[in-house]
Amino acid sequence: MRASRYLLLLVSFYLVLSGSAFAQRKGGSSSHSKTHSSSSKSSAAKTVHVRSYTKKDGTVVRSYDRRPPGSKEDVASPQATVRSSASSAALRDSNGRIKRSAAAKETFERETGYPHGRPGYVVDHIKPLACGGADDPSNMQWQTIADAKAKDKIERQGCK
């Protein structure tokens, strides 16, 4: 019995040491900021500030505040009201598709250096219009045709 406890202690000590060595190798020189959440109930309602960063495709995401994952949004918050009214107030054409602003798309194309479109790419909304995303150049990105088709299949599942 005593030998099995000793063996269990030895194995757990080894796992702790190898886990910390793995974590040091894995996250050694990353330029991304990491946030740690505490398990207290009061911190679940706090917002988290996300610093601006650059995506692999070169687009810059501005800094913003967000709620931690798993926290419920306050029903009376202005952000919840804006989201629900934006998604329900989206204008639709005769085919049921959400109307897009041609001027916003042209502005985005001009700002990114492709005023007549980009071969092999489509203009995609980062936050879908169906989920309350803005039809604005700040919510647009270039996306390959294949990636756009794959994203369109699963995109609306995240809308709530």
Higher pLDDT, 155 or 142: 142
Residue 112 has pLDDT above 60, yes or no: yes
Residue 18, domain member (yes or no): no
Give the percent of the chain with pLDDT over 90: 19
Residue 34, domain member (yes or no): no
Residue 121 pairs in a beta bridge with 144
Mean pLDDT of 108-115: 92
Residue 59 has pLDDT above 80, yes or no: yes
Residue 127, domain member (yes or no): yes
Residue 3, domain member (yes or no): no
Higher pLDDT, 34 or 19: 19
Residue 37, domain member (yes or no): no
- Quick one: CA torsion of 4, 7, 9, 11, rounded to 10 degrees? -140
- Number of structural domains in the chain: 1
Residue 7 has pLDDT above 70, yes or no: yes
Determine which helix (DSSP H) or strand (DSSP E) holds 123, and give its type and residue range: strand 121-125
Q: What is the pLDDT of residue 97?
A: 79
Which tokens hold the place of 70? 């798993």
Domain encompassing residue 140: 46-158
Q: What is the pLDDT of residue 81?
A: 38
Separation in Å, CA 84 to CA 90, 124, 133, 150: 10, 21, 11, 26
- Mean pLDDT (the chain) is 73
Mean pLDDT of 88-107: 79
Instruction: Please list, in sequence order, all residues whose beta carbon lies within 8 angstroms of the beta carbon of residue 98, skipping any fewer than 6 positions away.
Output: 90, 91, 92, 129, 130
